[in-house]
Amino acid sequence: MSNKDIVRLIFDDRKDVEAILGDPEAFDIHECILNYGLSTKKFLYLDYKGEDDREIVDYMLDYEFARNIELASQEELEVLGEFEYELLPDKIKEANKIISKRGYGLFSYPTSGDFYALFIAKLENKTKLLQVDLLHDERIPSKERYVQYYF
């Protein structure tokens, strides 16, 4: 899969795709996607310890507002916001139970640090997203070099 295809699967806005692919200093597509996603808040940055508040719910609300769509009802978002969890992937799984009904998923982008970089994408792209080894670092376990989908 080409770099252009990967970027298009993660970012649905043509301007985002052009900004990433048009970066003259972009020698590593993985780093470019990660930096762009974090700097533009298109990715949700969470420490491995979890949320400080309702960051996942707020991120989902921002995504809905920016695209004029509904990922979850107000009631579902309230329940998700109050969800108690020990490990962050448990909350991501809960979010995916809700938004998968609308054809979307909350994915984890591979990082070499001790944080999660989450993004929302259409589930129709799930298979393709999960197949690309983005983080070419042999010191990191193979599974963690790919986009993750918790369900």
CA-to-CA distance for 43 and 101, rounded, in angstroms? 21
Rounded average pLDDT per 10-residue block, the chain, 151 residues: 85 92 78 92 92 94 95 96 93 97 96 91 95 82 88 92
The angle, 0 to 180 degrees and rounded to 10, between the axes of the packed helices 3-10 and 14-21 is 140
Do strands 104-109 and 115-122 pair parallel, antiparallel, or not at all (unpaired)?
Answer: antiparallel
Q: Are strands 115-122 and 44-47 parallel, antiparallel or unpaired?
A: antiparallel
d(CA 65, CA 70) in angstroms, rounded, equals: 8
pLDDT for 26: 66
Q: Does residue 14 contact residue 84 with C-beta atoms inside 8 Å?
A: no
- Looking at residue 151, its pLDDT comes to 92
Report the side by side order of strands in the sheet with 115-122.
44-47, 115-122, 104-109, 148-149
Q: Please report the pLDDT score of residue 28 as a whole number.
A: 82
**Inter-residue contact 1 to 128 (CB < 8 Å):** yes
